[in-house]
Amino acid sequence: MQENRNEHEYLTGRERYVRAGEIELWAEEFGHPDRPPVLLVMGAQAQGIQWNDGIVRRLVDGGLRVVRYDHRDTGRSSVVDFAAHPYTVADMASDALAVLDAFGARRAHLVGASLGGIIAQRLAVSRPDRVLTLTSLSSQPLGTDTAGAVRRALEGAPALPGELPPPSPELLAALVSTLPAPEAGPEQYLAARLPLWRVLHGPVLPFHEDEYRATERRVYERARDLRAGLHHTLAGAAGSGATAELASVTAPTLVLHGTEDPMFPPAHAEATAAAVPGARLVMVEGMGHTLPRALDARLADEILRHTRGPEQGPGVRHRAA
């Protein structure tokens, strides 16, 4: 009984602030400290809490020690004067290492969503000694010029030869039209953000507005500066490296992606899996570019299966229900 009580206690997040050079990062840990660590790396402009509690609980129940954190310029972490101190994806990867160091994790399973997938890939290339496994979720390969592809799409210019597809026209329109004003209050902020989440969610799975509204309200309340996360777009255009570098990745790699992703269409996942030796590609039917609670169990199960070790040969592609 005492053991069960102790295990239950570890389901409560333990928050702390981590120093990464001159900045401070908010981080939170779940699970028994002796269990294998998994670092959850969120995407651009996204806070660590946007890793659903349901995913976190399932990973902890599956035997992992889970750490999630706020990137610089998001949530409770430091706001950076980007004009005076510009940073790159490589710098954001160093932040992730600082979090691991603070929690005493010499090596960890890395799970990165969207820009977080790029950060995780960067670490798998540059610091393979720190990476147990790599999961690239709803992301794209290192070195992809997304900013250029978006610019050309908005200008009506043709894609470059061999270029991965840009975000969907519906998403490009939503990105342009749903940026909240700096002085926006909570209701104005929510009204501006929800149309974007509808598009990112995709057209197949039911959209539960209350779920996204609750998350965005929490994001609003935690943020030091809601617009500072826009710096991630600038950081994402520099310092990520080249797709060819993924050939050096030795960590077992899972590429997990939605069939309805409007930000990074499935070709991005296919290119990532093709670039990493032995990578396994799993396409999740109906999933867009969000992590709805309805998929908590599916995504956690895939991550747990991957972190426990290969159950099928390398290079296998399949679709998850």
Model pLDDT, residue 4: 45
Q: Domain boundaries in the chain?
A: 2-320
Using the structure block, give the residue that is written with the tokens 């975000």: 167
Flag whether the pTM goes above 0.85.
yes
Q: Which residue has the tokens 């702390």?
A: 16
Long-range contacts of 21-24 (CB under 8 A, 24+ apart): 21/94, 21/98, 22/78, 22/85, 23/72, 23/77, 23/78, 23/80, 23/95, 24/77, 24/78
| Catalytic center residues | 114, 261, 289
**What confidence score (pLDDT) does residue 311 get?**
44
* pLDDT tens by residue, the chain, 321 residues: 334 435 555 667 899 999 999 999 999 999 999 999 999 999 999 999 999 999 999 999 999 999 999 999 999 999 999 999 999 999 999 999 999 999 999 999 999 999 999 999 999 999 999 999 999 999 999 999 888 888 888 888 888 898 999 999 999 988 876 666 667 788 888 888 999 999 999 999 999 999 999 999 999 999 999 889 989 988 876 667 899 999 999 999 999 999 999 999 999 999 999 999 999 999 999 999 999 999 999 999 999 999 998 543 334 444 444
Residue 135, beta-bridge partner list: 111, 254
Task: Please give the class, per CATH, of domain 2-320.
Answer: alpha beta
